[in-house]
Structure 1
């Protein structure tokens, strides 16, 4: 996942996005983002304290831009290997070309006095939200036929889709999914 630099600063090698690019990278619906990211991915809550690793971030930037780490990334000898930060904002995005999901986080390094203060995590005392129900299926040739439907395992259908309306002439319930309704 991509992380923004502390306090939302833009790295010198990056230019601000054009309006067209900004439109492509608008924030996604949280449930859709988590379904695409998978069940093993979780994001910290806004207000929580996180550890930021500047060197690891620099190495990931170099790897994603296909640049040599030693020759292209500046060296900051006085920068600590990790910074304790407060998380101020999380936005969920998807790359328009690859559909890869990533989160952009705004971090603020804590000063020494803030590090000494007792910390109560923001998650304490809040009820957990029920997980989103979803299933994954690789479409096959039979799913792309002209009959207008595709098969879903029974357990997934009972968990995800609304019950069939048997009081209608045809025993089916239409479900329409539109990409634009998730964004």
Structure 2
């Protein structure tokens, strides 16, 4: 009997249109093409787990900190509790691995890097006023003019009813009005119920997406996350979080706001063990979680391993802007080398 999909361990997720998925994931998110060769890093995978798993039985042999695999399938999904998008990636470490028929026919990519896939979107970081369940949502002018249908500004007041679908297919009705002194765009009726249902807080990012072909509107989120693991060599400034506190948060909200906490630790151990034994396995990947990728194109890993890294070398890191609408480069200097570190 085939093992259950990892995503079925949690509340069943929703399948998401690849183009909407890409808009919600952000420009920096990457999906390895089905059939491509990648390197799977168990230690990177472990950083996405609820609590650090023990991988010593798999990685204790002193070999390379990664496994070469082929991407044989995948699905683009949304978490029903948090409305965050994620991907289920199926990997096979055997040399003869080939994509499954299901995978070959699946809609996986919503356009290449830099391609909007026929969608337009706008991202806003919620303010305290926006997240207040007793108030309304202040709509940036650019969003109102380029994402929402045009208002009849000759009416008094200019007002319309919007129907916007969440990532699970539920349609939400909002009153969009243009009023005040000075005038501004607002979502009023319907917003409070929506904000309460989605458990929105200040710092969450809301993404409004429009299908350019028919005007259909969608809404997704990127949750404000708390950082975790003060001992991380990659993020030395992270603050420690009380595990009991986070368990209470998961119990109350149905999802964790910790940057860790997306994947059960046991699933990481099982994936690493399967990779070590040469068996096919699945991983769940949440983009924009504040942590690095752990399924990386093989060519990039090989190219990086050919670089004679040394202390003092100048390096460039591409970083996504806060609202995920732009990418910019950050320059730095290598200050230390970790020969056995997966990074």
User: Shared fold by TM > 0.5?
Assistant: yes
Partner of 2:143: 156
In structure 1, stretches of 5+ residues that fail to align are 1-8, 115-122
Please state if 1:136 is matched with 2:120. Answer: no
SS at match of 2:33: coil
Aligned 8 A contact 2:14 2:77 in 1: yes
Aligned positions of 1:108-123 closer than 5 A: 108-109=92-93, 111=95
What is the CA–CA distance in structure 2 between the aligned matches of 1:15 and 1:140, rounded to whole Å?
A: 35
Aligned residues: 153
Name the structure where helix makes up a greater proportion of residues. 1
Among 64, 68, 78, the alignment partner of 2:49 is 64
2-side partners of 1:77 and 1:168: how far apart?
73
The TM-score normalised by the length of structure 2 is 0.34
TM-score under structure 1 length normalisation: 0.56
Partner of 1:118: none
Dislocated runs of 4+, deviation >6 Å = none
Query: Residue 86 of structure 2 aligns to a residue in which SS?
Result: strand
Distance 1:146 1:16 in 2: 34
Q: Is the 8 A contact 1:59 1:69 kept in 2?
A: no
Going from structure 1 to structure 2, the CA distance change for 1:139 and 1:29 (only over 3 Å counts) comes to: farther
Q: Find the counterpart in structure 2 of residue 117 from structure 1.
A: none
Say which of 15, 19, 31 aligns to 1:27.
15
Cα shift at 1:138: 0.7
Q: Secondary structure at the match of 2:34?
A: coil
Partner of 1:92, secondary structure, is strand
